[in-house]
Amino acid sequence: MRLNADRLAAQLQHILAPAYLISGDEPLLVSEAAASIRDAARARGFSERELHTVERSFDWNGLANASDNLSLFADKRIVELRLPTGKPGKEGSAVIAGLAERPVDDRLLLVITGKLDRSAAAAKWAKAIEKNGVVVQVWPIDRQRLPQWIRLRMQKLDLKASADAVQLLADRVEGNLLAAQQEIDKLALLHRDGVIDAEAVAHSVADSSHYDVFQLVDAADLGDAARSLKILHGLRAEGVEPVLVLWALAREIRTLASIASKIRNGAPENTVLNQVGVWERRKPVIRGALSRHTMDSLHRALMTAAETDFVIKGLEPGRPWNALEALVAELAGVGVLRRAV
């Protein structure tokens, strides 16, 4: 069975599966999903918890033997496996699959990992848990859903926040849900009356936004130049290397040019998007970018990317981050910004 994280609580009220896999890159939501499973297990008599973190030279045989060594008088136990890479290897895959395929009443298998790529999600061990237990997929809270997520979290703490306060908090903590929850908790402590306005947020909340290059690409594809440049400046402040930013932008422009070319030659748009591996969630983003760009504008953007590469390598005069600003603006469809030399 596969579940989104927001459906996990309802599932746990009815049944506790013998095995769970939690996968995702949002630490707060992954941690909360794991905690809800542990709580449900404890309520059903699972009083012991064994925690294993997979590192190099991990003893898979020891895990298998210990997990299967259950006596008549043993307490029910949670066997929790932290799998940072999502790739247990051949031996580990066989052990995890074996535990999932041989469920016993007094053992709960809980595997926690980061976001799984397609090959890892299709691996034997992951499929064994999906067949015999539950795979919980934790998705990030995107920018559009973040204000509602914040509002619901505030309501749980009896906070009454204005729309401006919620939006300001969302802007300050975008991409960092852990910081968002910490700031909500702090606001609850500071404002006993539960009334939160934008001024209260401005005084209390630090700018804890955390961005990555993929958010930058999506913002530019959506034509949001102001947000794109804000993310770009945030990446610079976080010490991200310009070459990494250029890689993400150039790859996106090449992908858009390839899609546009195939569509112009008569291929159905949705077929092309599927062929190049565009996820369903990103299709509206890609379509938005294609609606603003022509083949000529994408070719110009590729030339700008090449020029930016020369600037980053010191082969042309200019400042790398200013060159990246121009490239971001061009992808967002607002033209080329003048570079400072």
> Which pLDDT score is estimated for 69?
65
> Which pLDDT score is estimated for 310?
93
> Which pLDDT score is estimated for 26?
87
Token couple for 99:
């535990």
Residue 66's Cα: distance from chain center in Å?
33
Nearest 5°: the CA angle 44, 33, 175 is 170
Residue 53's Cα: distance from chain center in Å?
21
Q: What is the average pLDDT across 27-37?
A: 93
Q: Where are the beta strands (DSSP E) in the chain?
A: 2-4, 19-23, 46-53, 76-83, 107-113, 134-137, 160-161, 195-196
> Which pLDDT score is estimated for 106?
87
Q: Note whether 330 and 292 are within 8 A (CB).
A: no
> Which pLDDT score is estimated for 103?
87
**Cβ-based burial of 245 (10 A; exposed 0-12, middle 13-18, buried ≥19):** buried
Other C-beta atoms lying within 10 Å of the C-beta of residue 225: 20
Asked whether residue 188 carries a pLDDT value surpassing 50, the answer given is yes
pLDDT digits (tens, 9 = 90+) for 278-303: 878 788 999 999 998 999 999 999 99
Q: What is the average pLDDT across 53-82?
A: 79
pTM: 0.65
Q: Could you give the 3-state DSSP secondary structure of residue 266? A: coil
Residue 173's Cα: distance from chain center in Å?
15
> Which pLDDT score is estimated for 205?
76
Asked whether residue 76 carries a pLDDT value surpassing 80, the answer given is yes
pLDDT digits (tens, 9 = 90+) for 139-168: 888 888 899 999 999 999 999 999 988 988
DSSP 282: G
Q: Indicate the helix (H) or strand (E) that contains 72.
A: none
**% of the chain at pLDDT higher than 90:** 45
Who wins on pLDDT, 277 or 329? 329
Bridge partners of residue 321, in order along the sequence:
none
> Which pLDDT score is estimated for 250?
93
Q: Where are the beta strands (DSSP E) in 162-320?
A: 195-196
Q: Note whether 150 and 169 are within 8 A (CB).
A: yes
Question: Where do runs of H (alpha helix) occur along 88-123?
Answer: 89-101, 118-121
Q: Phi and psi (nearest 5°) for 266?
A: 105, 0
Number of H-type helices and E-type strands within the chain: 17, 8
